[in-house]
Amino acid sequence: MRFLIVRTAIRAAADTDITAAWAGGRRLRDETTRPEPRRQVVHAEDLDAALLLARAISTVGAVRSGKQRVKVLPLDDPHHRRADPGGPGT
């Protein structure tokens, strides 16, 4: 299985945004509607390689200081497919 390793910038959130999200029962950050800006993208062919690359990328100062984050995403996992938005049941 192939993986995508992504280093992204973390968007700052104001206290009022946090309060509004909490009160409205919604998410503060929703990656499907407004993804964080990408800083680096790397591909790996298996999980071991992906985790090794993610650990290496995590040593970047901005990640260690909490300004950026590293995500490991499976690219072709048949068990985690999204439902077809135009398919049956919609």
Dmax over CA atoms of the chain, in Å, equals: 47
Single-letter amino acid, residue 57: I
pLDDT in tens, 36-84: 889 999 999 999 999 999 999 999 999 999 999 999 999 976 665 555 4
Q: Which residues make Cβ contacts (< 8 Å) with residue 50, sequence separation at least 6?
A: 3, 5, 44, 72
Q: pTM (2 decimals)?
A: 0.68
Q: How many residues does the chain have?
A: 90
Question: Terminal CA-to-CA distance of the chain, rounded, Å?
Answer: 30
CA dist., res. 85 & res. 64, Å (int): 38
> 5 - beta bridge partners?
42, 72
pLDDT value at position 34?
Answer: 81
pLDDT value at position 11?
Answer: 84
